[in-house]
């Protein structure tokens, strides 16, 4: 797809052996092609669109949308594989998954956004739900409005016009909505899990950015599954154990944990 001749391909392979870099990276390093040409080739090979590096419709932190070879993009695809392979106790695929963290407040929104993009890139209609009602980020990362969203839905019911499209084909967004003084009450008693069932008919996968604060566990409770994000050498084993036990008590599968440096 890159149009290399035999001599160029041989040089790329030799250089790869020396550096350990990926094929695409090496072709750019040797000056045979541009980064954009590599990205277009990956699009054709993997069957999904990659945004141009200067596309302002998505924050550059969502690197999976721009560069599938980035380390974070590869991590997002690994998590996608875990999610899509998971099943509920009744044997059916998981449909609602919470991403929540311990001591990972800065990284979690970015990780959640990248995982959502990775899922949508496989052709799975995906809805990303920002349940960080106190400190929302997804509307900023995906350049969306936030005048109404999850808080509106939990407070007033109805769903008309709340879900927004994004620049990523197959990925939609339910933002957090305006700040509310009663976030804990809105998320109590599995209200989020019950409420987003409204969207299961329209999307194959609902990913919930549950956050890291005191409301995270409430936001995650009642969903099909969770993935936990921990800070290496900071998050305490006891805290992890408590969260895991509470999630499993609600018959929720914990698909795994991710350590963040």
**Mean predicted lDDT score pLDDT of the chain:** 88
pLDDT category at 132 given cuts 50, 70, 90 is very high
Question: What whole-number distance in Å separates Cα of residue 202 and Cα of residue 200?
Answer: 5
Reported as a single tens digit per residue, the pLDDT across 52-100 is 889 999 999 999 999 988 999 999 999 999 999 999 888 889 999 999 9
Provide the token pair at 27.
């072709």
Find the largest Cα–Cα distance for the chain. 66
Reported as a single tens digit per residue, the pLDDT across 181-221 is 888 889 987 899 999 988 998 999 999 999 987 788 889 99
Q: Give the Cβ contact number of residue 171 at 10 Å.
A: 26
- Does residue 40 register a pLDDT over 70? no
Q: Give the Cβ contact number of residue 161 at 10 Å.
A: 8
Reported as a single tens digit per residue, the pLDDT across 110-124 is 999 999 999 999 889
Find the distance separating the first CA and the last CA of the chain, reported in whole Å. Answer: 37
Reported as a single tens digit per residue, the pLDDT across 145-163 is 999 999 999 998 766 789 9
pLDDT category at 20 given cuts 50, 70, 90 is confident
Q: Are 228 and 236 in contact (CB under 8 A)?
A: no
DSSP string, the chain: -----HHHHHHHHHHHHHH---HHHHHHHTTSS-HHHHHHHHHHHHTS----TT-TTS-TT-GGGT-TTSHHHHHHHHHHHHHHH-B-TTSSBP-EEEEEEES-TTTHHHHHHHHHHHHHHTT--EEEEE--SSS--HHHHTT---SSSHHHHHHH---TTT-EE-SSTTEEEE---S--TTHHHHHGGGHHHHHGGGGTTT-SEEEEEEESSTTHHHHHTTSSEEEEEEETTTS-HHHHHHHHHHHHHTT-EEEEEEEE-
> Structural domain boundaries of the chain?
6-46, 63-260
Residue 221, judged by CB atoms within 10 A of its CB (0-12, 13-18, 19+), counts as buried
Question: What whole-number distance in Å separates Cα of residue 161 and Cα of residue 46?
Answer: 32
Q: Give the Cβ contact number of residue 31 at 10 Å.
A: 8
Question: What whole-number distance in Å separates Cα of residue 47 and Cα of residue 41?
Answer: 10
Question: What whole-number distance in Å separates Cα of residue 70 and Cα of residue 239?
Answer: 31
List CB contacts of 191: < 8 A, sequence separation 6 or more. 154
User: Taking the domain 63-260, which CATH number applies?
Assistant: 3.40.50.300
State residue 159's pLDDT score: 66
pTM of the predicted model as reported, rounded to 2 decimal places: 0.82
State residue 144's pLDDT score: 98
pLDDT category at 48 given cuts 50, 70, 90 is low
Which percentage of the chain shows pLDDT scores above 90? 49
State residue 15's pLDDT score: 85
State residue 211's pLDDT score: 92
State residue 45's pLDDT score: 57
- Please compute the mean of the pLDDT values over residues 238-259 and round it to a whole number: 82
């Amino acid at each position: 797809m890159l149009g290399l001749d035999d001599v160029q391909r041989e040089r790329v392979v030799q250089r790869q052996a020396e550096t350990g870099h990926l094929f695409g990276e090496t072709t750019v390093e040797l000056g045979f092609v541009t980064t954009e040409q590599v990205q277009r080739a990956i699009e054709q090979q993997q069957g999904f669109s990659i945004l141009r590096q200067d596309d302002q419709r998505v924050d550059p932190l969502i690197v999976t949308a721009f560069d599938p070879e980035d380390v974070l993009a590869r991590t997002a695809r690994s998590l996608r594989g875990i999610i899509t392979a998971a099943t509920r106790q009744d044997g059916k695929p998981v449909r609602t998954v919470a991403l929540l963290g311990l001591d990972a407040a800065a990284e979690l929104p970015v990780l959640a956004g990248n995982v959502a993009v990775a899922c949508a890139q496989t052709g799975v209609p995906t809805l990303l739900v920002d349940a960080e009602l106190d400190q929302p980020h997804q509307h900023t990362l995906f350049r969306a409005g936030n005048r109404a969203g999850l808080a509106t839905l939990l407070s007033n019911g109805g769903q008309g016009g709340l879900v927004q499209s994004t620049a990523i084909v197959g990925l939609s967004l339910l933002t957090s909505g305006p700040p509310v003084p009663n976030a804990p009450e809105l998320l109590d008693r599995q209200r989020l899990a019950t409420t987003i069932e409204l969207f299961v008919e329209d999307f194959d996968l609902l990913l919930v950015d549950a956050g890291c604060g005191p409301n995270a566990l409430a936001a995650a409770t009642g969903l099909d599954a969770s993935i936990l994000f921990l800070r290496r050498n900071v998050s305490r084993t006891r805290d992890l154990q408590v969260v895991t036990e509470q999630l499993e008590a609600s018959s929720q599968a914990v698909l795994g944990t991710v350590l963040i440096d």
